Structure formats: C-alpha cells, structure tokens
C-alpha cells in the first residue's frame, strides 16, 4: 500500500489520491488496509479530447496541481486539480457514507480558444480481494453475467493507450475474445451502450465470498456517457467517456455529469437495490405522468407500415384479423411524405423505395398511402375493434431536402466548418438540434394537434438517444447541450398528450433509465439479442436467467419493457431473424420473452402461417395475471439438463411455470420445484395434489399416465417436453 498518497476520509470511507496524476488510486472502508482500487500502475483518472484528434493523455502527461479537502454537513468535499495540455481539470468528489458523487469541471487556461470534445472519468485497477474471487457485472448490457474478473483483467487491449486502452474490438488478447465475455456484442456491436439513455451504465466488481461490491455508474440529463471496462493487470479500469463538448475561450469552463462510486456490503442483489435507489435521488422517479395507462402492461403490439398493404385503407381491412389474433396495439412506422425513390407505396425496400424515416414534411401524409381522411378512418376502425394506435414520432432529423432545411436552417446541427450533419448513422437525413427551443415548439405543436385531430393513442418515439455536438458558433449554449436535449421536449409532450387524452401513452425506442420519467414503456433490443445467443449455444439458459434477473433488478421500479424477435431493425443487427421466421426456434423465443415479463411486439408478417400459435400464446398471456404483472423468478427451478429454460411468475394466488427445452432432441428431464413456490402463497398441506395446467393448450399435463403430483413429488418431477415447444404451466390445487 502506497504511503505517499493524499488521504481523506468521511468516517465510512477512506480515499487516497495520487500526488503524481491526481487519480483516485485507493478506496477502502475506514480502518481497513485493503483497497478496492489501484491494483495497477499509477495511471491517470482523467483525460480530455480536443477537436477530432487523439485523447490528450495519449501523448501528454497529466500534472498534479493542487488539492483541497473539506468536511461539511453533507459529507466530505475533495477537489483534485490537474493540468492536461491547455486545460485545468477540477475533479470534485462528495463522499456521503459509502457513496461518492464525482463531477469534473474543465477550464481552458491557455491563451487561445480550444474545442473540447469529450472527457473520460476513470477508476484505475478495480478489484476486491483476490482477483479470482471477483466477478465483473454490467447489468442490461451485452456482458455475460457472473463474468470472472480475471477474464477481463487478463485481456491485452488493442490498440494500447497510456490513458485508456479501449476494449471495443473483437479478438483482443490471447486469453479471450470480446464476444466470449459479451456474447450479444455480435448483434449490438458494443459490449456496453451509452448511459443513461440506452443502458443503466452500471459497472461493478463483486466478491461473492465476502459479499462486497464496488459499483460505478453515471447520470446526466444533458450529456450521455459511454461506459468502458478494460484490463489493468491486477484488476479492471472502469471508465465513463462523457460527450461533454463546446468551444472554450480562454478562462471558460464546462462541467460534466455525475459519476457515482459506491462501496457496498451485502449480497449482489442488495448491491443492485442500492444502485436502484439512485433513480429517485437523481429525479428519474417519479415519472412526469404518474402511473401508465391500464392498457399498457397488457399490450400486444403489431409493428407495421401501411405501404405493403396498399396504404391506410388496405391496412384497415387487416384490423379484424389482427384483433382476432390478440393484437391490442398498432404501432405505425412513419406515414409522412418521405424520400420516396420509387413513386409508389413503400413496400419494405429500404434502398429502392427509400427510408420512411427521411421525412420531408412532418405535418402531411405520404400521398401514396392515402389522405388525412383515410388515416382517420384507419384509426377509427382500429378503435372500433378495441385496438390502440401509436404513430412513429421521428425526432432525430428530417430528409435532407425537407422544407424545414430551407425554412429553419438554424434548427439543425452543424460541424466545425458550418456544414449540416447527419446523426445515428442516417446519411439520408440532417440532424436536428434538440436543444433549440423553437424546434421543440414546432415538434410539440404538430404532434399534439395530431392527437386531437386523429384521436391517436400516443407515439412511439424514435431514436431519442444521445447525438453529436452542434458546433454552430451562433447557438447561445455549449455544443453538447443538444446531446440529450430532447428530454425537455419529451417531458412536455408527455404532459401534453395526457392533458388531451389521459390514457394516451409514449413508447420509447431508447431503453435506458433516463426515459422512464417521460415514457409509459420502452422497448429493448438486448433481450432479443441474448435469446439469439442462447439459440447459438453461446449463452446457457442459466446465464440467460441470471442476466434477466439482473436486468429487471437494475431497472427503475415499475419499468415496463417491450421486446420482440423481429422488428424493422433486425435486418441491421441480426439479419438471420427473417430466415428463422416461422421456425420452432422463433416461437420458443417469443414465448420466452413473454415468460420473462416483456410486452410482446410483432413485426408485420412474422405471424403468417403460424396464426394459431400466436393466437394461443397471446390469449394465454391475457388470461394470466401472473404473466401480465406477476413477480419474476429466474433459476429457482433446478433441472438435470443444461439447455432447459425455466421461469416462474407469481401473482397473488396464481403461479405459472414457463418451460422451454432448447435441447434438439426429445428427452425426459428431472426438475426440482421448491415447495416455497406454493407454500408461501397457498399454504397447502404436504399431501395436496397439484396439476400442471398448460395455458397454451387448455389441458392438464399428463406424463406417462400421471396427471397430478404432491408437493414432495414436485421436488423430483419428471417431464418430457417437446424440443423448442414452450409450455406455460399454471400450478393448480386439486
């Protein structure tokens, strides 16, 4: 343990800072000699990027300048000042008991203006006790749950960097591959996505034997941050790369969002509970709208564009069929005039017909789909059959030749040379400046008017996650104010639609906790991606169960999530999805999502030829309070087969056991259902007879002539499921 560190404490924690780099290199409980940080060389805890060049720390040393420690009623205040190139970085810490809030302020101390384009906040060499006793956890990301920390610590990042070796590339190191430690990266591209707009941003090191955890996460409603973890020899360095950006004149300052650091004693589940308390503290809860409308948790969504059906009137004719199938909600892809390259109704050809998301006029309807009256008739027909209608709200940008580009060029983001830019990989659009108040007024005006005029039931908000800076020198705010600037618009939109129609709702495409405050529900790509990894046997059912347990535990209380096995976007992140359409595997995955508590979304056409299965599955879900809103229990049913997924749902007196065998042959498995599954809820006598009523078929299960079991029998229950066939067993007392 180094003795030349700068030490400060608050009675619960002791913090040790490097007098060379200023980094927080020791963090320990008061009175302890063992640190959860610093198991690596003296690397910097801060870095910054100027312009489009390399990070400063890659070619310039970080110089310690000064420090100050002050005890106050709210906790210990510590500020470490370092110099990096023309910048002073003020590293502020507020330590309250076991929780530390860290913010960095960047000041230009050079004589010339500079262009700040990001900062990194790092915790070097994280580890609790022996390396082989620790797990790395990053809930709701592509990372494998319960990942041995040594797998991450021993990777040799490529390319190496003195400031922060980035673990983004596949095939890094000799002792493992990124897709081994984060299987879903095959689909999603990154092991961890930005926080708090797309992921919780939580990274943790947990020692199971000692029940101690180091947690690190980030929050801001102005700029998002990319979480990163990389090997540091004896531990792992945890970093949040914040999209803080702006033109800095000499003496000007900018402050990033907050990185939270917490030492926690207790099991992993209690560490996640401690993390989730931050949602209320940071204002993510309560939501701006109160409780979601009653129809939202039980929704079954059909994602569709009217074009392949010939337009609004053609889709109208499908409404009775969809209602009979069990669909409760239509989500319509954009129906406004767009970059139509074929001159006819969009037929799903993204290259030949163009993208419906390249909108030319937000206030009109694409003429090849029909008129405003045709659209109104479609909504009325859906309502007549009990379906809700959500329209796509495209906030990201507009077509490059949209009328707004010439009428209001000041509403768009620009690069350093003043040129209009695209974002989110959309080359056929120009990017709106979300922080522009006049843009926000415009979007709010027409979208609320549509709710009134067409009786819409709300919107699906497309791609509101963080975007590039706006380098236009004429704006009165810093360049990265646009990054999450859409949040203000969405708060106002949510209040506005509830005023017009109290049971209207917003569905968010971005699935980070930031948007729980402004949306009734959100959908998520990762559960779909993880299921595909399960099918490829890159992830076991047990690992998926642990991943799902952590997923829900890391979400804000009451969060409602939508998932799917196909969308209009699976062509980009999992192309084989369409080839597996109609397969046993596809049916098993959709049922598994429902078993796990997700609202199902169906991409138009995927149900063709298997309507009976979809009808039975959606009806079973609607008839089961446990499946709709019950407690989720993962990995509580033991099985002697590795490739069987079991999920238990409980609500009041109802218990549903969901079961899918992902083993490619028929065989008899032995299950152990704990007595507490029934005992805690129904308090039956030991000899009580229990049957397994399959909600999918409406019949009681019969296993080789046996149709009922005692509680003792359930502890060694033999079942022979068909491969890839889902079962939803309601446990019923006879």
pLDDT of residue 162: 40
Same domain membership, residue 431 and residue 412: yes
C-alpha–C-alpha distance, residues 38 and 18, integer Å: 10
C-alpha–C-alpha distance, residues 119 and 135, integer Å: 27
Tell me, what CATH number does 63's domain have? Answer: 2.70.98
Same domain membership, residue 267 and residue 306: no
| CA atoms within a 13 Å half-sphere pointing along the CA-CB vector of 664 | 5
Interacting residues of 319 by C-beta distance below 8 A, sequence separation 6+: 378, 381, 382, 384, 385, 387
- Give the 3-state secondary structure of 687-727: CCCEEEEECCCCEECCECCECCECHHHHCCEEECCCECCCE
- Contact between 175 and 105 (Cβ < 8 Å): no
Same domain membership, residue 271 and residue 237: yes
In a domain, 606, yes or no: no
In a domain, 65, yes or no: yes
C-alpha–C-alpha distance, residues 655 and 630, integer Å: 9
Q: Please identify, among 252, 281, 310, the residue that sits at the C-terminal boundary of a domain.
A: 281
pLDDT of residue 3: 60
In a domain, 613, yes or no: no
Same domain membership, residue 290 and residue 260: no
Q: Which two tokens stand for residue 36?
A: 């959860």
- Counting the structural domains of the chain, the total is 3
In a domain, 103, yes or no: yes
In a domain, 530, yes or no: no
Same domain membership, residue 294 and residue 193: no
CB atoms within 10 A of CB 631: 12
- Give the 3-state secondary structure of 305-329: CCHHHCCHHHHHCCHHHHHHHCCCE
Q: β-strands 24-29, 46-50: how paired? A: unpaired
In a domain, 701, yes or no: yes
Q: Which two tokens stand for residue 531?
A: 């299921």
pTM: 0.95
Same domain membership, residue 211 and residue 309: no
C-alpha–C-alpha distance, residues 702 and 720, integer Å: 10
pLDDT of residue 675: 84
pLDDT of residue 41: 80
- Contact between 644 and 661 (Cβ < 8 Å): yes
pLDDT of residue 681: 52
Q: Percentages helix, strand, coil for the chain, rounded to the nearest 5?
A: 25, 30, 45
Q: Please identify, among 235, 255, 281, the residue that sits at the C-terminal boundary of a domain.
A: 281
Longest dimension (CA), the chain: 87
In a domain, 318, yes or no: yes
Residues of the chain with pLDDT below 50 are: 1, 156-176
Q: Please identify, among 431, 455, 484, the residue that sits at the C-terminal boundary of a domain.
A: 484
pLDDT of residue 165: 40
Same domain membership, residue 340 and residue 211: no
Same domain membership, residue 394 and residue 263: no
Q: From the CA atom positions of the chain, what is the Rg in Å?
A: 27
| CA atoms within a 13 Å half-sphere pointing along the CA-CB vector of 250 | 3
Same domain membership, residue 265 and residue 181: yes
Nearest to 493 by CA among 513, 521, 462, 519: 519
DSSP notation for 500-538:
H-TT-EEEES--SGGGGTT-SEEE-SHHHHHHHHHHTTS
Tell me, what CATH number does 660's domain have? Answer: 2.60.40.1180
- Contact between 73 and 229 (Cβ < 8 Å): no
Same domain membership, residue 300 and residue 161: no
In a domain, 559, yes or no: no
Beta bridge partners, 156, equal none
Which structural domain, as residue segments, surrounds residue 290? 284-484
Same domain membership, residue 387 and residue 259: no
Same domain membership, residue 111 and residue 215: yes
Tell me, what CATH number does 448's domain have? Answer: 3.20.20.80
């Amino acid at each position: 343990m180094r003795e030349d560190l700068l030490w400060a404490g608050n009675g619960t924690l002791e913090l040790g800072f490097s007098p060379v780099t200023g980094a927080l290199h020791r963090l320990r409980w008061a009175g302890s000699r063992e640190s959860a940080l610093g198991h690596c060389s003296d690397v910097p805890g801060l870095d910054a990027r100027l312009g489009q060049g390399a990070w400063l720390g890659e070619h310039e040393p970080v110089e310690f300048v000064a420090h100050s420690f002050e005890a106050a009623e709210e906790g210990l205040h510590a500020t470490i000042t370092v110099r990096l190139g023309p910048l002073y970085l003020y590293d502020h810490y507020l330590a309250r008991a076991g929780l530390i809030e860290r913010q960095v302020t960047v000041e230009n101390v050079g004589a010339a203006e500079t262009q700040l384009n990001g900062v990194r906040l790092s915790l070097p060499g994280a580890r609790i006790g022996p390396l082989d006793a620790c797990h790395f956890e990053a809930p709701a990301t592509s990372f494998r749950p319960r990942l041995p920390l040594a797998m991450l610590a021993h990777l040799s990042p490529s390319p190496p960097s003195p400031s922060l070796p980035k673990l983004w590339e596949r095939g890094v190191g000799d002792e493992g591959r990124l897709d081994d430690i984060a299987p879903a990266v095959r689909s999603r591209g990154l092991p961890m996505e930005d926080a708090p707009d797309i992921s919780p941003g939580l990274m943790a090191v947990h020692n199971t034997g000692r029940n101690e955890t180091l947690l690190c996460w980030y929050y801001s409603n102005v700029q998002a941050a990319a979480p990163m973890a990389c090997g540091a020899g004896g531990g792992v360095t945890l970093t949040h790369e914040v999209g803080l950006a702006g033109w800095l004149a000499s003496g000007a300052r900018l402050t990033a969002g907050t990185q939270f650091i917490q030492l926690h004693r207790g099991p992993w589940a209690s560490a996640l509970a401690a993390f989730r308390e931050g949602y209320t503290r940071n204002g993510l809860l309560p939501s701006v709208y109160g409780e979601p409308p009653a129809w939202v948790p039980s929704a079954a969504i059909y994602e569709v564009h009217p074009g392949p059906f010939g337009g609004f009137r053609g889709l109208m004719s499908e409404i009775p069929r969809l209602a009979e199938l069990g669909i409760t909600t239509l989500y319509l892809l954009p129906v406004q005039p767009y970059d139509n390259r074929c001159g006819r109704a969009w037929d799903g050809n993204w290259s030949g017909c163009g993208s419906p998301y390249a909108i030319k006029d937000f206030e009109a309807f694409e003429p090849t789909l029909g008129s405003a009256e045709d659209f109104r008739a479609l909504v009325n027909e859906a309502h007549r059959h009990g379906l809700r209608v959500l329209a796509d709200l495209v906030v990201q940008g507009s077509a490059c030749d949209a009328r707004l580009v010439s009428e209001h060029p000041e509403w768009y983001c620009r690069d350093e040379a003043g040129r209009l830019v695209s974002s989110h990989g959309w080359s056929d659009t120009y990017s709106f400046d979300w922080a522009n108040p006049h843009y926000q007024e415009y979007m709010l005006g027409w979208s609320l008017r549509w709710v009134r005029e067409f009786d819409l039931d709300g919107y699906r908000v497309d791609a509101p996650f963080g975007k590039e800076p706006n380098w236009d020198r004429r704006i009165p705010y810093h360049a990265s104010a646009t990054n999450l600037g859409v949040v203000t618009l969405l708060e106002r939109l949510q209040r506005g639609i509830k005023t017009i129609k109290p049971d209207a709702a917003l569905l968010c495409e971005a699935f980070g906790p930031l948007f729980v405050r402004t949306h009734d529900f959100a959908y998520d790509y990762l559960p779909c991606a993880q299921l595909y990894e399960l099918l490829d046997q890159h992830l076991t059912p047990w690992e998926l169960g642990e991943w799902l347990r952590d997923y829900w535990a890391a979400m804000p209380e009451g969060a409602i999530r939508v998932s799917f096995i196909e969308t209009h976007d699976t062509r980009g992140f999992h192309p084989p999805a369409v080839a597996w359409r109609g397969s046993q595997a596809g049916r098993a995955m959709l049922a598994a999502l429902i078993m796990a508590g997700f609202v199902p979304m169906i991409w138009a056409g995927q149900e063709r030829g298997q309507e009976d299965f979809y009808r039975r599955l959606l009806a079973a879900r609607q008839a089961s309070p446990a499946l709709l809103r019950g407690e989720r229990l993962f990995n509580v049913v033991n099985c002697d087969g590795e490739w069987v997924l079991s999920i238990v749902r409980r609500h009041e007196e109802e218990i549903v056991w969901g079961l899918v065998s992902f083993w490619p042959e028929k065989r008899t498995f032995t299950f152990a259902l704990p007595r507490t599954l029934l005992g805690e809820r129904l308090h039956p006598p030991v000899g009580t007879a229990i049957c397994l009523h399959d909600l999918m078929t409406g019949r009681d299960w019969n296993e080789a002539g046996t149709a009922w079991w005692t509680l003792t029998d359930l502890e060694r229950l033999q079942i022979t499921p068909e491969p890839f066939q889902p079962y939803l067993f309601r446990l019923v007392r006879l």
